[in-house]
């Protein structure tokens, strides 16, 4: 098929969704796309890149740079592009370079890091949970520089202009205090690239010329470091397309810029497009209505306009163990109906109540021979970081001369299980590692495979393979479920004190024992942030969502009575208890 016919085919395939078509054919230099969950974001993005190629916009050696906040989003983009070009010319897929912000910067520093004092980036230890300990060796002036800079990033209260003025002093401290010990703080992977671009315009010009179009996924998750990097890479001749969803802003605690989609649209005079057809829930009236209701409520929480009442099926226990019993019974029924169903039990936070729920749920499911994958671990905990570092070392020793093959994975996993001491999450981490290695063996070319595996492990990114674990039941925190999908989702611990938790409750202004959600001008931002979390949770489901709650919960070491989550008091929500 020639290029013009391909372009016309792409257009004809999108005539039933005018908003998707307007993105695919956009002539504007900068486009910001509001892309809610299930509205065809990935399809639109891939079709847009295909259209660019059909129109011969991506010429010669040049590439489209697809960037995201997380490794998992980058991998989904890469796989989606690969599937789109399957059976066609493989060089088309090679014209797309998909990675996350840190992955891009590590690649740049491998080539040009020596210009800013960073030689052989792969020899440095990435500081994660050990970062705070490492900072203790700094003098008071250096420590103040580092703390001011990193708190500004994590609290999203530093402007791009302020960042530009702080970055050189920050990097100087990193060079003097960390590189000499072969240590590299996480943020500095990006800050050294920003310094490189400031000082060496020819290097920046090369990347602007090489990446003629920049496509950012999960744009709402971007922090100021990522935003500054994007602004440097986007020159006068580059296209810039960002896909994001304001209702999936849940990474504020990691420094994601608040209301970034609106702010970037205003500041850059970008074209704004909102995708308007929910393809995932097109034939599912209940889920489609739930999605529309919460989006309307989030846009104007103080409005009293009438919304269609949505019935959500609920599991109600008098105690946490009884709640877990009802969840396990529901899971058993769903798997008896269809053994291929994949089910997620999502919680908002870790703690005694979540542990009690998981322990009872695990016991129940184990008796029914149903496998559960516990993904509630903290990815920055020493157990998780140490596991990945040990596996990376063992992999390097065993596969120094060639990459791992699919038939060798089980044997390698057995060696790891035998070598490492047993911990609560060891089984989950081993299952996750097996899924990751199997995916790498099937999807990553042999010449790149070992580098991909080592990079993932040393950047503490193993968690991003949760979607590849094939066990029937996954328990995860809502934050950790972002970007993933299951057939059914059960949002557990759906009671005040757990959802919302203590900090959300304080921000919203709840007093002890209250669960009536009243929105005022003082708490509207906190309400929106809280609603986002529920939205992210229920939109992980392809077919249906349930909530589960109990009448009691632990507060410290004491059991106390509680009430159902305040969202159940909204005028458009009706909980319908399952027996």
Kindly report, residue by residue over 329-339, the tens digit of the pLDDT: 999 999 999 99
The predicted structure's pLDDT at residue 81 = 66
Greater model confidence, 22 or 74: 22
CA atoms of 403 and 396, how far apart (whole Å): 9
3-state class (DSSP) for residue 31: strand
Task: Classify burial at 187, counting beta carbons within 10 Å of its beta carbon; exposed 0-12, middle 13-18, buried 19 or more.
Answer: buried
Highest mean pLDDT among 14-18, 133-137, 420-424, 492-496: 492-496
Residues in the chain: 579
Is the pLDDT at 283 greater than 90? The verdict is no
Task: Give me 150's structure tokens.
Answer: 């990193």
Span 178-207, average pLDDT = 92
CA distance 561 to 552: 4
Sequence-ordered alpha helix ranges (H) in 300-445: 320-337, 352-367, 382-398, 409-419, 426-443
Q: Which residue has the tokens 């109540």?
A: 353
Please tell me the distance from the alpha carbon of residue 279 to that of residue 134, in angstroms, as a whole number: 48
Q: What's the whole-number average pLDDT of the chain?
A: 87
> What's the pLDDT at 266?
77
In the chain, where the domains are located:
104-197, 285-375+473-577, 382-468
Per-residue pLDDT, averaged over 312-340, amounts to: 96
DSSP state of 498: B
Residue 120: its pLDDT value, please? 83
pTM for the model stands at: 0.84
User: Under CATH, to which class is 285-375+473-577 assigned?
Assistant: alpha beta
pLDDT digits (tens, 9 = 90+) for 356-368: 999 999 999 999 9
Q: Cite the annotated binding site by residue number.
A: 35-42
Pair 42, 75: CB distance under 8 Å: no
Q: Does the pLDDT of residue 132 top 60, yes or no?
A: no
Contact between 492 and 327 under an 8 Å Cβ cutoff? The reply is yes
3-state SS assignment for residue 500: coil
Please give the pLDDT value at position 322: 96
For the four alpha carbons of 381, 385, 388 and 393, in that order, the dihedral sign comes to negative
Please report which confidence band the pLDDT of residue 42 belongs to, taking 50, 70 and 90 as the band edges: confident
Is it the case that residue 90 has pLDDT exceeding 60?
no
Question: Considering the chain, what percentage of its residues have pLDDT values greater than 70?
Answer: 92
Task: Kindly indicate the confidence band of residue 68, based on its pLDDT and cuts at 50, 70 and 90.
Answer: confident
Report H helices in 425-523.
426-443, 446-458, 478-481, 502-508
Please report the pLDDT score of residue 262 as a whole number: 86
Angstrom distance (rounded) from CA 220 to CA 68: 10
β-pair partners for 489: 344, 545
Of residues 249 and 486, more confidently modeled: 486
pLDDT the model gives residue 85: 59
Q: Is the pLDDT of residue 82 over 90?
A: no
Where is pLDDT greater, at 302 or 341? 341
pLDDT level of residue 19 (50, 70, 90 thresholds)? very high
- Report the binding-site residues for ATP: 35-42
pLDDT category of residue 129 using cuts at 50, 70 and 90: very low
Q: What backbone torsions phi and psi does residue 370 show, to the nearest 5 degrees?
A: -105, 125
């Amino acid at each position: 098929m020639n290029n013009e016919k391909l372009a016309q085919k792409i257009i004809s395939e999108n005539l039933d969704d005018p908003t998707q078509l307007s993105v695919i054919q956009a002539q504007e230099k900068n486009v910001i796309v509001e892309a809610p969950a299930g509205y065809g974001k990935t399809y639109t993005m891939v079709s847009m890149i295909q259209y660019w190629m059909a129109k011969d916009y991506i010429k010669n050696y040049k590439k489209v740079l697809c960037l995201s906040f997380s490794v998992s989003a980058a991998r989904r983009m890469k796989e989606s592009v690969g599937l789109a070009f399957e059976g066609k010319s493989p060089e088309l897929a090679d014209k797309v370079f998909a990675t996350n912000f840190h992955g891009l910067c590590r690649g740049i520093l491998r080539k040009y890091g020596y210009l800013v004092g960073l030689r052989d980036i792969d020899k440095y230890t990435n500081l994660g949970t050990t970062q705070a300990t490492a900072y203790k060796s700094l003098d008071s002036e250096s420590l103040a520089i580092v703390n001011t800079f990193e708190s500004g990033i994590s609290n999203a209260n530093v402007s791009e202009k302020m960042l530009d003025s702080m970055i050189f002093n920050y990097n100087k401290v990193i060079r003097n205090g960390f590189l000499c010990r072969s240590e590299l703080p996480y943020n500095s992977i990006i800050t050294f690239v920003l310094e490189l671009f400031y000082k060496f315009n020819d290097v920046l010009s090369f990347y602007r010329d090489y990446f003629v179009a920049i496509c950012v996924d999960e744009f709402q998750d971007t922090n100021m470091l990522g935003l500054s990097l994007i602004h440097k890479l986007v020159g006068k001749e580059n296209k810039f397309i960002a896909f994001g969803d304001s209702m999936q802003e849940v990474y504020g605690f990691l420094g994601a810029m608040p209301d970034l989609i609106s702010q970037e649209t205003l500041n850059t005079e970008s074209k704004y497009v909102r995708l308007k057809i929910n393809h995932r829930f097109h034939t599912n009236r209940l889920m489609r209505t739930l999605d529309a209701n919460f989006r309307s409520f989030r846009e104007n929480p103080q409005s009293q306009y009438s919304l269609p009442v949505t019935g959500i099926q609920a599991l109600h226990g008098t105690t946490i163990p009884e709640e877990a019993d009802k969840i396990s019974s529901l899971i058993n029924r769903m798997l008896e109906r269809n053994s291929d169903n994949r089910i997620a039990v999502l919680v908002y936070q870790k703690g005694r109540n979540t542990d009690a729920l998981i322990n009872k749920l695990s016991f129940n499911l184990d008796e029914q021979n149903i496998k559960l994958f516990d993904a509630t671990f903290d990815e920055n905990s020493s157990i998780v970081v140490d596991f990945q570092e040990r596996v990376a070392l063992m992999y390097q020793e065993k596969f120094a001369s060639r990459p791992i093959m699919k038939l060798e994975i089980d044997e390698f996993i057995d060696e790891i299980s035998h070598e490492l001491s047993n911990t609560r999450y060891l089984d989950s981490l081993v299952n996750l590692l097996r899924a990751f290695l199997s995916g790498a063996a099937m999807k990553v070319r042999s010449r790149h495979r070992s580098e991909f595996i080592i990079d993932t492990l040393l950047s503490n990114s193993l968690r991003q393979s949760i979607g590849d674990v094939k066990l029937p039941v996954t328990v995860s925190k809502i934050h950790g479920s972002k970007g993933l999908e299951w057939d059914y989702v059960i949002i557990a611990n759906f009671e005040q004190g757990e959802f919302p938790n203590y900090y959300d409750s304080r921000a919203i202004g709840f007093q002890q024992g209250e669960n009536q959600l009243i929105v005022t001008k003082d708490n509207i931002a906190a309400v929106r942030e809280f609603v986002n979390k529920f939205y992210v949770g229920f939109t992980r489901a392809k077919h249906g969502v349930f909530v589960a709650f109990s009448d009691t919960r632990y507060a410290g070491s004491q059991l106390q009575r509680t009430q159902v989550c305040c969202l159940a008091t909204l005028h458009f929500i009706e909980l319908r208890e399952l027996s």
